[in-house]
Structure 1
Amino acid sequence: MKKLFLVLSVITASATAASAQVEIGVKISPSITYLRAESPSSTAFTNESSKFSFGGALIVDYFFGENYAFGTGLALMGKGGTVSYTDHATVGGVVGTTPVRVNQKIATQYLELPVTLKLFTNELAPATRLYFQLGGSLAVPIATRVNNEKFYQDPYDNNNETKASEHVFALDLNALLGAGVEYQLGHSTKLLAGLSYHRGLVNLDHYFEKTRDFSDVTIKNNVFALDLGMKF
Structure 2
Amino acid sequence: MKKILLTVAALALAPAAFAQVEIGLKVSPSIAYLRPDSPSGTSFSSESSKFSFGGGVFMDYFFGENYAFNTGLFLTGKGGTISYNEQTSARPGVARVEQKIAMQYLELPLTIKLFTNEVAPDTRVYFQVGGSLAVPVQVRINGDKYYTDLYDNNNQTKAGKHVFDIDANIIGGAGVEYQLGQSTKLLAGLSYHHGLIDFDRYFERTRGFSDVNIKNSVFALDLGLKF
TM-score range, shorter chain: over 0.9
Read off the aligned partner of 1:21 and give its amino acid letter.
Q
1:53-132 maps to which residues of 2 (within 5 A)? 53-89=52-88, 98-132=93-127
Which residue identity does 2:46 align to in structure 1?
A: N
Residue 215 of structure 1 corresponds to: 210
Q: 2:139 and 2:212 mapped to 1: Cα distance? A: 19
Q: Tell me: CA distance 1:13–1:119, structure 2 relative to 1, closer, same or farther (3 Å).
A: closer
Task: Note the alpha carbon deviations across 1:149-199, whole angstroms, 9 max, x for none.
Answer: 000000000010000000111110000001000000000000000000000
| 2:38 corresponding residue in structure 1 | 39
Measured after TM superposition, the shift of residue 19 of structure 1 is 3.6
Is residue 139 of structure 1 aligned with residue 138 of structure 2?
A: no
Aligned partner of 2:19 in structure 1 is 20
Assess if the C-alpha contact under 8 Å between 1:90 and 1:157 holds in 2: no
CA shift at 1:59, angstroms? 1.2
Q: CA deviation at 1:16?
A: 5.6
d(CA) in 1 for partners of 2:215, 2:64: 36
Distance in 1 between the 2:89 and 2:47 partners? 23
Unaligned runs of 5+ in 1: none
Partner of 1:184: 179
TM-score when scaled to structure 2?
Answer: 0.92
User: Take 1:156 and 1:19, find their aligned partners in 2: how far apart are those partners?
Assistant: 61
Q: Which runs of 5+ in 2 are unaligned?
A: none
Paired residue total: 221
1:38 Cα deviation (Å)?
A: 1.1
The CA deviation string for residues 34-60 of structure 1, in whole angstroms up to 9 with x for no partner, is 000110010000001001000002110
Identical aligned pairs, as a percentage?
67
Moved over 3 A (4+): 11-19
